Structure 1
Amino acid sequence: MPERRFTLLIGALALVVASVPYFVGWLLTPAGSVYTGLTTNIDDSDVYLTWMRHVASGAFFQHNQFCAEPEARQTLLFNLWFLFLGTLSRVLPPILVFHLARILGGAALLWAVARLLALAVSDERARKLAFALVCFSAGLGWLIPGNPSLKPFAFAKATIDTFQHEAITFQSLYYSPLFAPATFAMVVFITALLRSEQTGKLRDTLPACLAGFLLGNSHTYDVIPLFAVAFTWRLASDISQRKVSVSGWLRLIVIGAATLPSTAHIAYVLKTDAIFRARANETEPTYTSLLPWVLLGYGFLLPLGILGALQKTATPGRGLLICWAVVGVAVAYLPFEFQRKLLMGPHIPIALLAGIGLSTLAGKLSGDFPKILALFGVLITLPSNALLLLRDITRLQNNESGTAYRPYLSSDEVSALEWLRAHAPPDSIVLVAPDPTSHTRFPNTPLMPHLAAVVPAHTRCISYNGHWSETKAYGRKLGETRRFFSQSTNDSQREALLVANKIRYILYLNRLAGADLGDYVPVDWAMGKQPGALHTVYTGSEVTIFEVSADD
C-alpha cells in the first residue's frame, strides 16, 4: 500500500477507535438521563469545559471558577488555545468543541509525526511500522496482576500505560483536547530543530519558535523537557564532531528567545497571583512512578527501540530521537512536584525507534514472514490501550468513571443546572451538597459533591467546593461541606459559612433526605425547615436549589 494512503488509513483508524467509548456512551444513555459526553477523568474535563464557557461569555483572562476567593477574578492568566476553543463555543455546544478539539488536535499530531518520520527515517517500511506504533502502542501494564494503578492514587508503583494518559500517544488522542495539541507542538518543535540542523538555515527554526511560544503559554511544563533535549543534543553533537557549532547554538538561542515571553508570563503570574500559586502549591504532588514501572509502561517498545537506535544508515535523525527518548524520561525525575506531567512526549521517539527495530527484524525474514512479524509486533503492544477502552465502556453501564464523577446526569440535575445558567447572576457562588451515592462508585473515599465540578462547566457560576486541584484549600472546603450538611451542625454555624463566603445558592440533592450515611446525615432544614435566610428557587424530583437572602 502506498505510504501516504497507509498513513491516512492508520491515523483515521486510531482517531475513530479512540472515539468509540464516547459513541458507546451516547448509545447507552439510560432513559431519564443525559450523557455528559465524557467517560474518564471527568473532573479535569469539566475544568476544560469551564475555561471554554468562560471565554464564550466574553472573558479574556482565565478566571478560576472553582475558587470563591475574590482574587480568583483578578488574574492575568490566559490560554491562547482555550481562547480559540471558547470563541468556537459561542456558536457550538462546548462539549462538541471539546471533541472537535480532541479529534482535530489528534489529527494534527499524527500529521506532525508523519512529517518527522519523513525527515528522520529513510526506510519506508520502518516509517510505516513506526507510525502504526505511535498510533496504537502501549506497554505491559495489562500483564501485571493487581497493577497498583488500578487502585486510587497508588501511582508510585504503577505502569504509566494504565493511568498516565499524556504519556501514551493513543491515550492522548482519546482523553483530552489539550494533550494531543500540546504533543503536536512538541513534535513540530523537534522536527524544526532537526530540519534546521540539516539545512543550517535560521529560517527553518521558525516552526520551533512558534511551537515553543505556544507551549510556554498553553502547556508550560513541556518547555522543560524540550529545551533539556535540545540542549543535550546540541552539546552531544559538538562533542561527537569535536568542535563547537556557533550557528547551531545561535539557532537554539533564537528558539529560546521566542519561547521566553510566554513562559516568563506564566512565571510572573505564578509569582504574583496568590490563587494560581496556591493551586500549584496545595495540589497533591504528581510524582513519577519508580523507573521500572515507567519502563514497563513502554513494554516491548524498549527492546525494539534499542535495536532501532543501533541502525545508523536508516535513521538520519537517530541522534535526536535517542536524545529525546532518554532525556525525555530522565527529566521526569527532576525535583518538581509535577514530575510525571513531564512524561508527555517520550513515547513518540521510543515508538519511532521501535518501528525501525521491528523493520530490521522483519528484513531478516523472507516470504510472508516479514508481514506476519510486523503485524504481530504491532499487535502485542495494543492490549493496555484496548483494555483501557473496554474498562471505560464497562464503567458506563454502571454510570461510573475513574473517579467519583458520573458520565450520566439525571434529567432533573440537568434542569437544575439549566436553571442556574438562566437565572443565576454571573459569578454567583454555589455550595453543592455531597452526592449520597459517590462512595458506591469510588470506594474508600468520603462522600463527594459530584455536581460541584459540573456547575462551572455548565453555568456561569462559581463552585465553592468544586475541584480537588483547582479549588484553593479544597480539603478544608470539602470538610466544611460535609459539616454543613450534617444534622449535628446547628443553623448558626451554617449561616456563618454562607455569609463569610458570600455563597448565593445551595444545590441540594434530595436523595440525602433518605440516605443512611453515618456522619453525613441530611439536614432537617433542607426539607422545609430552613432558616429565614434561605428560600427555595428551584424544586425538582432530585434537586432543590436554595437562594441565600441578600439581606442576610
Structure 2
Amino acid sequence: MSNSLKSAAGWVIAALTLSLIPMFIANSTAPSGTVFTGFLLNPLDGFSYLAKMKQGADGSWLFSLPYAAEPGPGTFLFVYHLFLGHLSRWIGIPTIVVFHVARIIAAALMFLLVYVLFQAVLPERSARRTALLLTLFGSGLGWVTAPLFNLQPSDLMIPESIPFLIAYGNAHFPLAAAALLGGILVILLLQDRPGLRLALALLCGTIIGAVLPFSALSLFAAGFTWYIWEATLHFRKNGA
C-alpha cells in the first residue's frame, strides 16, 4: 500500500470514527427505562431495515410486508437486508450491531474507492488530499441557513445529499455508492483487460441491482457517456 493510500485510509478511519461518536453518546445517555434504537437519522426507515433483517434472521429469503394486515406472499426483494439478517443469525450478533458494522465496512470501501478515482484523475497529491477531505467532511451551506430561517436543508436531512450522510445514514447507500464507483473505475482503468473489465462490471451491476436498483440508471448513464466519448475520440483519431 502506497503512503498516499495509507494517509487516505487514516482520514477515512477518522471520518468513520466521528460518525460513531453520536451513536455512543445517544446510547450512553438514554433515560432510564428506555433503549436507544440505534438510529439518529431517519429512524422510520431505519426500523424498516431492521424489520427486513428480522425476516432474514428468522430464516426467510423472501420479503413480505411486516406492517400490513395482509402481508401476502413473500417476494425476492431487499436481498441485502435479508442477507444481513441471516448473517446476524449465523454469527449470533444482534441485528442492529450487524447493521452498523455493515454500514462502516461499506462506507470505508466507498471512501477508499473515491480516493482511487481521485488518483486516476488528479495528478497532484495535494489536490487528491483536498478532494478527499472535501468528500469526507464537505457539505452545502444548509448549516448556515437552518438556524436563521428555520429550514430543513437537504444536506442536513437527506442521506443521499453528501457522502458523510451516505456513510452515516444506513448500510445500503454506501455499498451502492461503492459499487457505482467500482463500475466507473472499471470503465476508466481496465480498458486493456476486457475479460476482467466485463467480470467486474457485472459484479458491480449485480450489487447495485440487488442493493439499490434505481442507482443502476446513474451507472448506465455514466458508462454510456464514456463509451460515446471514447468512440468519438477513436473516430477522430483513426477516421471513418
TM-score in same-fold range (> 0.5): yes
- Offset of 1:167 from its aligned partner? 2.3
Q: For residues 109 and 61 of structure 1, do their structure 2 counterparts lie closer, same or farther at Cα, with a shift above 3 Å needed?
A: same
What is the deviation of 1:147?
5.6
- The offset of 1:84, in angstroms, is 2.4
The equivalent residue for 1:503 is none
- Correspondence 1:212 to 2:213: no
Aligned to 1:52: 53
Q: What is the rounded CA distance, in whole Å, between the counterparts of 1:132 and 1:26 in structure 2?
A: 28
Matched, 1:88 2:87: yes
Moved over 4 A (4+): none
Partner residue in 2 for 1:79: 78
1:312 aligned partner: none
More strand by share: 1
Cα deviation for residue 117 of structure 1 reads 2.5
Give distance in 1, aligned partners of 2:230 and 2:154. 31
Contact 1:193–1:205 (8 Å) recurs in 2? no
User: Who is 2:169 aligned against?
Assistant: 175
2:149 counterpart SS class: coil
Give 1:200 deviation, angstroms: 5.4
Residue identity opposite 2:200 in structure 1: P
State the AA in 2 paired with 1:218: V
Task: Say if 1:196 and 1:202, in contact at 8 Å, map to a contact too.
Answer: no
Q: Give the superposition deviation at 1:115.
A: 2.4
Give the superposition deviation at 1:240: 4.2
CA distance in 2, matches of 1:200, 1:2: 27
Matching residue within 216, 224, 240 for 1:223: 216
Q: Which residue of 2 aligns with 1:111?
A: 112
1:335-350 equivalent positions in 2, closer than 5 A? none
The correspondence for 2:225, drawn from 232, 250, 258, is 232
- Tell me, what secondary structure is at the counterpart of 1:34? coil
Decide whether aligned partners of structure 1 residues 147 and 186 sit closer, same or farther in structure 2, where only a CA change above 3 A counts.
farther
Letter in 2 for 1:216: G
Residue 23 of structure 2: aligned partner = 22
CA distance in 2, matches of 1:178, 1:2: 30
- The 2-side partners of 1:28 and 1:103 are apart by 22
Structural mapping, 1:264-279, within 5 Å? none
| Secondary structure of the corresponding residue to residue 125 of structure 1 | helix
**Alpha-carbon deviation of 1:56?**
0.7
Q: Find the aligned partners of 2:199 and 2:125 in 1 and give their Cα distance.
A: 28
Task: Give, in angstroms, the shift of residue 4 of structure 1.
Answer: 2.8
- Identity of paired residues, percent? 28
Q: What is the letter of the counterpart of residue 184 of structure 2?
A: I
The aligned counterpart of 1:11 is 12
Q: How far does residue 18 in structure 1 lie from its aligned partner after superposition? A: 1.1
Mapped contact 1:134–1:170 kept (Cα < 8 A):
yes
Q: Per the alignment, do residues 208 and 215 of structure 1 end up closer, same or farther by CA in structure 2, a change over 3 Å counting?
A: same
Is 1:35–2:28 an aligned residue pair?
A: no
Deviations 1:214-243 (CA, angstroms, capped at 9, x unpaired):
211221010111111211222133334435
Verify: 1:146 aligned to 2:149, yes or no: yes
Q: AA paired with 1:108? A: L
Deviations 1:507-550 (A, max 9, x none): xxxxxxxxxxxxxxxxxxxxxxxxxxxxxxxxxxxxxxxxxxxx
SS of 2:35 mapped into structure 1: strand
Give the structure-2-normalised TM-score.
Answer: 0.89
Q: For residues 269-348 of structure 1, what are the structure 2 equivalents within 5 Å?
A: none
Root mean square deviation of aligned Cα: 2.1
SS in structure 2 opposite 1:3?
helix
The alignment partner of 2:12 has SS state of: helix
Where does residue 265 of structure 1 map in the other structure?
none
Structure 1 unaligned blocks of 5 or more: 151-158, 246-552
CA–CA distance in structure 2, aligned partners of residues 57 and 239 of structure 1 = 53
Identify if the C-alpha distance between structure 1 residues 139 and 147 changes in structure 2 by more than 3 Å, giving closer, same or farther: farther
Larger radius of gyration: 1
The number of aligned residues is: 233
Aligned residue for 1:165, secondary structure, equals coil
Structure 2 vs 1, CA of residues 143 and 240 (structure 1 numbering), >3 Å: closer, same or farther? farther
Per the TM alignment, residue 212 of structure 1 is displaced from its structure 2 partner at its CA by 0.6
